[in-house]
Amino acid sequence: MNYFITTPIYYVNDRPHIGHAYTSVACDVLARFHRLMGDNVKFLTGTDEHGQKVEKSAAALGVTPKALADANSQHFKEMAALMNIGTDPHINFDFIRTTEPRHVQSAQALWKKMADKGFITLGSYAGWYAVRDEAYYQEGELIDTPNGKRAPTGAEVEWVEEPSYFFKLSEFGDKLLAYYEQNPDFIAPESRRNEIISFVKGGLRDLSISRTTFSWGIPVPGDEKHIMYVWLDALANYLSALGYPENTPDMAAFWPANLHMVGKDIIRFHAVYWPAFLMAADLPLPRRVFAHGWWTIEGEKMSKSLGNAVAPGELVQDFGLDQTRYFLMREVPFGNDGNFSREGMINRINSELANNIGNLAQRTLSMIQKNCGGRIPNGTVADAEVGITGVDKDKLIQNMDKCAFDKYAGDIVKYASQANEYIDKKAPWALKKQGELEEMGKVLYALAESIRKIAIMIQPIMPHSSSKVLDLLAVPENQRSFAHLSAEFALLPGVVLPPPEPVFPRFVEKSVDLGGA
């Protein structure tokens, strides 16, 4: 099966923060999961580089928009590498920039297709526009504040009057509502689905899709006085990365996308405008759009003014790469808002990784090294299933399909807890003292086999750490997919194991030396 997953493309007016890492890690987890399930996976991310906001940010810095885009796009590429995103060699990974010729050509082709079908007309626009959001707002959506009118997001708005091309969005309300009804899983979670249905039922107005008052963008085909509205430009990236409008192998294999992952602030663009554009261009709609929540930092909203934005590099440096990935996926139900706190992260690392999974692996492998000559002890799959019932693979798949990453990880943690209870109950160290070496071997085999399964299942979230554990168990590289969870690929008694090493050390806050006498 082919599987195509996308992050939103990130705006280049600033550097990456924890929110960007959160979205990208979630998509990487899904991409790795589907690859381990045997799917042919394409994974797309990139940067959104046009629009008034970029032009203004560049002017404030005294650089060209292209120079700003080049610099910040590189930061997002570095974030992907830092967070181990898109590095699985078996996944077709792509990083697209909207300043690339392939994207410009594709976006203009999409415009031409919609225009040829009669869905684009020339007129003039007069209304409220938020540069920060790159979004138009109706009068009724605005909030009156002591500092003037604001968008629902809190962004400043300005009154804009200029010639504009319009997309006939008003003609798509009933079609969109019918599509939402026929495809109840198209928008997730449920709260966002309800929000979008309510918005569309409120009536859709034609959408201004070109600007003339600034120049940093893609020229409108046939009328270069206009540049394309940045959101029409940006959304086209999902097609341009596949080679649209050409009937490329990637277009044939991967469109429609299986999942567009977005933040909740841009759900309207992806669940209303984007499907309407695709309908207008006679293209299939993506199968699903999932909008996740936002992160607060130590209970406060992340903002430049507070100076509390957390850079992904800081987390990786302080806590470790896989520990950071694990926390982001485990801490809150995906779709809800979450809070980052050092205390919460340390608790997750120590209680679930170090004390649970890590302790299980270290105790078991150390006893095998010491008491079984460093070889997988004699035992059978039947031994491994006594007292450690394991995780239901179908349930894991269901949780991943629902983007319930916290439950996916939680079930694996419960399995590790069960194995730790088993080791305490069976006490293999006591069996050795009593001379029951055969029984001790069976117990240790059962534990080692449970660790193998845990390491295979946790791979999408913690690829480096799980690989280390599988190496310690001498599991061949070509036997690490979910198909290899089955009994026929169980550990073979007698296989020599390398000396055990701790994989999940406890995190201890470094004490600060204040000096003094």
Structural domain boundaries in the chain: 342-489
User: Is 196's pLDDT higher than 80?
Assistant: yes
User: Is 492's pLDDT higher than 80?
Assistant: yes
pLDDT tens readout for residues 57-91: 999 999 999 999 999 999 999 999 999 999 999 99
Pairing of β 300-301 and β 135-137: unpaired
The average pLDDT across 375-403 equals: 82
User: 311: pLDDT confidence band, cut at 50, 70 and 90?
Assistant: confident
Q: Which of 300, 314, 237, 242 is nearest to 270 (CA)?
A: 237
Query: Can you read off the two tokens belonging to residue 509?
Result: 């806050």
pLDDT of residue 133: 86
User: Is 514's pLDDT higher than 50?
Assistant: no
pLDDT of residue 517: 39
> Residue 465 in 3-state DSSP?
helix
Tell which phi-psi region holds residue 380, choosing left (phi > 0), alpha (psi between -120 and 50) or beta. beta
Q: Is the model more confident about 351 or about 298?
A: 351
User: Is 168's pLDDT higher than 90?
Assistant: yes
Distance linking the first and last C-alpha atoms of the chain: 68
pLDDT of residue 383: 64
pLDDT of residue 134: 86
User: Is 385's pLDDT higher than 70?
Assistant: no
pLDDT tens readout for residues 269-281: 999 999 999 999 9
pLDDT of residue 483: 94
**How is 312-323 classified by DSSP, letter by letter?**
HHHHHHHH-HHH
Q: What's the pTM?
A: 0.93
Burial 307-320 (b: 16+ CB within 10 A, else e): eebbbbbebbeebb
CATH superfamily of 342-489: Isoleucyl-tRNA Synthetase; Domain 1 (1.10.730.10)
Q: Which of 472, 217, 209 is nearest to 361 (CA)?
A: 472
Pairing of β 143-145 and β 2-6: unpaired
User: Is 291's pLDDT higher than 70?
Assistant: yes
Lowest-pLDDT range, 69-73, 141-145, 232-236? 141-145
pLDDT tens readout for residues 85-139: 999 999 999 999 999 999 999 999 999 999 999 999 999 988 899 888 888 888 8
- How far from the centroid of its chain's Cα atoms is residue 462's Cα? 14
- The answer to whether 315 and 328 are in contact (CB under 8 A) is no
User: 194: pLDDT confidence band, cut at 50, 70 and 90?
Assistant: very high
pLDDT of residue 306: 59
* Cβ atoms within 10 Å, residue 501: 12
The average pLDDT across 22-50 equals: 98
Measured between alpha carbons, how far is 240 from 47 in angstroms, rounded to an integer?
13
Q: What is the mean pLDDT of the chain?
A: 93
- The answer to whether 170 and 206 are in contact (CB under 8 A) is yes
pLDDT of residue 335: 86
Percent of the chain exceeding pLDDT 70 equals: 96
pLDDT of residue 433: 95
